[in-house]
Chain A
């Protein structure tokens, strides 16, 4: 695994574009994935609804980064917690291991067991076991979580056959800036390929988070990969990129899909150079549409005009509306394909903005546009 920063955004910003190169072991071709990038969430090895043959209709190699188990020509990144089904249960974690609430009950996972799973799964990248705690725990508990996480990082590395070459050292620290810095600094001393930043999305606010993210990235070596979990919404991802994060995993697509939502926000903001605040508010587009709404019953247009995804090339809003109404599985398949395609497009936009030295401008515009939509009248979303 090799990672290199290819473009720093400059102008005081910390956003960076990079390239993640994963060697092609086992016959798969080596791929270069540009960062910032999105890991597609999987459950038991495959996306929730998009099967292997349909996965190939998504842009590549963008869609080849998979969180958890996966497919031969794809890149697997493993982390201990799954944001949908296996959430960390900090009250049950103890000095022996981290506890998770899973569909089959609460499970305590010790570093040795975790490493057993990692050695048999052989992911391309993996995060060390962390003791994640929510934002409201006591200072003492938070401190203990950092101690444990660092100890477990060493435990994992001790039995790692690759001596840390594919390891992402876990960084926690809750909502305490000092603890975050301590954890990041300590983790940097270990011989790891990059860092997995956990403990977010467990109760802290977006306002707090930016300072915490920056505190962490300030203490991490520039040239190594940074991956953060559980930052879902575009705004949160933008925050992460601004703080210098390279990889994200998100449950946004999954939850949108289950709810019958399809992403429609425009993917052409950077191009609109003569941008005027007035026209922008007038033309404020929806972020997403709820295809269950009756206004789509006879809508013969695709979800997004000129979208190149399988769903938009083949089906109409009306058809998906019908599928949702009659509770047919095909609805979720089509929605997950489109939403994934669209969100990957968003990541591509961010990368382009960074490479063009315009990331901060892109971020401001994007957020402003979303807020404008919220304050304006909008008939298209329920």
Chain B
């Protein structure tokens, strides 16, 4: 185990904690930007540090292709290669199974990909994935899991869940650096509570440094989504970090934090920036919209980031989707927003005002009181009273 996880504040299931990793001491709940190929698209390391980024995610699949695991190893690890001084997390390469399925073939041995670079077959076994991740050297590494889309039904889900547990053991056996890299297990099982329960118990038995809830954020309905998160967070150990992979939208992060999750990652903030959308407390601001051409306000008057302190919506309107600078500035703002959200979650829990924060958040996002039902249900389980944010239920609802 190469981490320390210390809960410093609570509200019912929600927790604020200090996560000490080899390269950095982090505060949770936290959001991890995705730096797929060894860089966050369009931002420099010092900009990331400025906005308060604690951990960034690197993608094993892409990095193994280019520049290659051996090269990174020669450089002394991804930290040295990209000159990132804080924490790194690498995923196993498993998600690409789902997103590039037409190129993949899954067997007990591992996953065969067809390399998109040169067409050659690439076999990713649990051993291989861990070996690559050992070379990359991130603070947290993920076990190779058999991921299935939540929209799939049938015996495949059960098969995948059991295989995930078997592969977990192979990952543990292959892991060469348990003193400097933390191997997290990933809970699978689709939307089936029975399967999820078996998976959680199996992983907890293996006494891992941390646990992830995988297989979500892939198109399932929100009602199923929160229930799986709630079930897993209830069953996973209190004293270890819980990472919901692929989440996501600010609303989802607030709900999951209320239910007891600690870490999140998603391409959404940076990707939506490249399409001209800015994240604001009220939701999303589409800067490409004609109305923005004359709007002299900053993206978000309450945001302290460099972009909001310097540029107006009108100016950004003429940059977005047309100039690289537009993507950069918007990515900067969106990630700033996510870092601020992380800090606000942590601080509000520590200062004993988490429910107020949640209510404020929901009121700003849903000024008409039309908070989605799934959020209401989730908050009820989380023990947070949001009745003041919701318009009363009417028959037409």
Contacts and interface: CB of A to CB of B under 8 A. Distances in A.
B90 to A, nearest CB: 16
A49 B327 CA distance: 10
Given A44-B318, A322-B67, A330 B75 contact: no
Interface stretch (B42-50, B129-137, B151-159, B196-204): B42-50
Given A43-B323, A298-B74, A314-B83, A329 B310 contact: no
B43 A45 contact: no
Interface stretch (B33-41, B163-171, B205-213, B226-234): B33-41
A332 B44 CA distance: 11
B324 A297 contact: no
A318 to B, nearest CB: 7
A80 interface: no
A300 interface: yes
Interface in A32-58: 43-49, 51-54
Contact of A330 (B43, B50, B329): B43
Interface in B7-50: 37-47, 50
A326 B47 contact: no
8 closest Cβ contacts across the A-B interface? A329-B42, A322-B67, A326-B37, A330-B39, A328-B39, A53-B306, A46-B325, A314-B83
A2 interface: no
Given A43-B323, A329-B324, A318 B37 contact: no
B82 A49 contact: no
Interface of B: 37-47, 50, 62, 66-67, 71, 74-75, 81-83, 306, 310, 315, 318-319, 323-325, 327-329, 332
A180 B306 CA distance: 46
A52 B310 contact: yes
A298 B43 CA distance: 23
Interface in A306-342: 310, 314-316, 318-319, 321-323, 325-326, 328-330, 332-334
Given A51-B329, A330-B43, A315 B83 contact: yes
Contact of B324 (A48, A53, A323, A325): A48
Contacts of A47: 325
Contacts of B43: 330
Contacts of B45: 314
A325 B306 CA distance: 30
Q: Which of A51, A310, A318 gathers the greatest number of chain B CB atoms within 10 Å?
A: A51
Nearest to A325: B66
A315 B62 CA distance: 20
Given A298-B71, A298-B74, A322 B324 contact: no
Nearest to A333: B44
Contacts of B67: 297, 318, 321-322, 325
Nearest to A49: B324
A47 B329 CA distance: 12
A76 B324 CA distance: 22
Contacts of A328: 37-39, 41
Nearest to B67: A322
Contacts of A46: 325
Contacts of B81: 316, 318-319, 322
Contacts of B62: 326
B82 to A, nearest CB: 6
A107 to B, nearest CB: 16
B306 A330 contact: no
B66 A53 contact: no
12 contacts: A46-B325, A47-B325, A48-B323, A51-B328, A318-B81, A319-B83, A322-B81, A328-B37, A330-B42, A330-B44, A333-B42, A333-B44
A374 B150 CA distance: 61
Contacts of A329: 41-42, 324, 327-328
Interface string A50-80: 0111100000000000000000000000000
A54 B44 contact: yes
Contact of A297 (B42, B71, B310, B325): B71
A22 to B, nearest CB: 21
B315 A45 contact: yes
B272 to A, nearest CB: 16
Contacts of B50: 53
A377 to B, nearest CB: 28
B50 to A, nearest CB: 8
Contacts of A318: 67, 71, 75, 81
Contacts of B324: 48-49, 329, 332
Given A45-B315, A298-B71, A329-B328, A53 B38 contact: no
B62 to A, nearest CB: 7
Nearest to A54: B44
A51 B41 contact: no
A310 B42 CA distance: 15
A213 to B, nearest CB: 33
A17 to B, nearest CB: 33
Contacts of B319: 44
Contact of B39 (A44, A316, A323): A323
B83 A49 contact: no
A310 B44 contact: yes
A300 to B, nearest CB: 7
A154 B66 CA distance: 59
B328 A333 contact: yes
Given A54-B47, A314-B46, 15 more contacts: A43-B325, A44-B323, A52-B306, A53-B306, A54-B44, A316-B81, A319-B38, A322-B67, A323-B37, A325-B67, A328-B41, A330-B40, A332-B324, A333-B328, A334-B44
Contacts of B328: 49, 51, 329, 333
A101 B233 CA distance: 60
B145 to A, nearest CB: 25
B318 A322 contact: no
Contact of A51 (B82, B315, B325): B325
Given A46-B325, A52-B306, A53-B306, A330 B41 contact: yes
Interface string A3-24: 0000000000000000000000
A43 B323 CA distance: 9
A209 B312 CA distance: 43
